[in-house]
Amino acid sequence: MIRWAVLAKEVNKVRFDCLSQFMTSSGIENELTYVSANSETFADELQRCQNEFDQIRIGPPFGEIACEHHEMITSTMMTLKSVDSLVKQENHWWLRSSSFHGIQEFLNRRGESVDLSGALLVVGSGAAARIACAAFVKLGFRQVSIASAFDEQGRAMIEDFKRFYFDVTFNFVPKDELVLLPGIYSVIINTTPYIKSNELLPELYFFNFLMRPGLVCDLSMIPPVTPLLQEAEAIQIPTLGGYQFASCSDLVWVNWITGKKLSVDKYMAQLKPALDAASSEED
């Protein structure tokens, strides 16, 4: 029996409930617990989780903060400065990012080439943006723009990455300059939430900055096919949704803690309908 916890302020329970059920149906006995925290209680709750559970997933907004509360950190995690898992191996806890490895694995298994001659546009500057940016840079992008509503956070992210990726050109794009971008981008990946107060999203729907055919990715999972993806699909631009990346990421994590490789396609076939149902309830 694997006893695991999701430590977060806000958590996608649909996703992790589905993962727990999929693990059980695959012969992996497990017990999932949700642990809520805020910035003041996070350190104490993290320590309690390490004492009480076998494995830990870290949710928003603690992806970056978690790195400050742990000494066992690899060079990859030093670069990312963002974590979504604490993996216990041989009585030691290791900071890991299943999302970083899951994005790479999904792009590799997709079997279609991504045009690396164009630039990459990452929308957002939080933990998810750091992970997505690093994963696509590892794929081979050498020109990257970061667009964010939070100028200071976005510029700080770029300065961090410049210390590790010497052969990559980074530049910051303020919110009001998104519509002015030249059409040099072969991939856009949105890491900002699908909420009414998000002022960045409406600026993306024109796709004037995207080389064709291009690729539009959105890490939001509810709804599984976001308005951004719908707009892209309406004009025949290839898309990838957050639930697709999450499916790979979750099973990367399962492999880390059990050594078992489960079917991404089978898990995805269960996750997407569950997210669709949750989206309908919100509407």
In the predicted structure, residue 111 carries a pLDDT above the cut 70: no
For the ranges 9-13, 30-34, 70-74, 137-141, the lowest mean pLDDT is seen at 70-74
- Measured distance CA(147)–CA(173) in Å, rounded: 5
For residues 92-116, average pLDDT: 84
- Find which of 17-26, 100-109, 160-169 is predicted with most confidence, using mean pLDDT: 17-26
In the predicted structure, residue 20 carries a pLDDT above the cut 90: yes
User: What pLDDT sits at residue 65?
Assistant: 83
**Model confidence over 60-76: pLDDT tens digits?**
888 888 877 766 667 77
In the predicted structure, residue 282 carries a pLDDT above the cut 80: no
In the predicted structure, residue 95 carries a pLDDT above the cut 80: yes
The pLDDT mean for the chain works out to 90
Q: For residue 97, which of 264, 253, 258 has the smallest C-alpha distance?
A: 253
User: What pLDDT sits at residue 80?
Assistant: 82
Q: For residue 42, which of 13, 62, 19 has the smallest C-alpha distance?
A: 62
Q: pTM value? A: 0.91
For residues 174-200, average pLDDT: 88
In the predicted structure, residue 155 carries a pLDDT above the cut 70: yes
In the predicted structure, residue 18 carries a pLDDT above the cut 90: yes
In the predicted structure, residue 261 carries a pLDDT above the cut 60: yes
**Model confidence over 34-58: pLDDT tens digits?**
999 998 999 999 999 999 999 999 9
- Measured distance CA(175)–CA(192) in Å, rounded: 13
User: What pLDDT sits at residue 185?
Assistant: 96
Neighbouring CB atoms inside 10 A of 167's CB total 6
* Percentage of residues in the chain having pLDDT higher than 90: 67
In the predicted structure, residue 283 carries a pLDDT above the cut 60: no
DSSP E strands, the chain = 2-8, 30-36, 55-58, 85-89, 92-96, 119-123, 143-148, 169-174, 185-190, 210-218, 239-241
User: What pLDDT sits at residue 72?
Assistant: 62
**Model confidence over 208-220: pLDDT tens digits?**
899 988 999 999 9
For the ranges 72-76, 130-134, 163-167, the lowest mean pLDDT is seen at 72-76
Contacts of 113 (CB under 8 A, 6+ apart): none
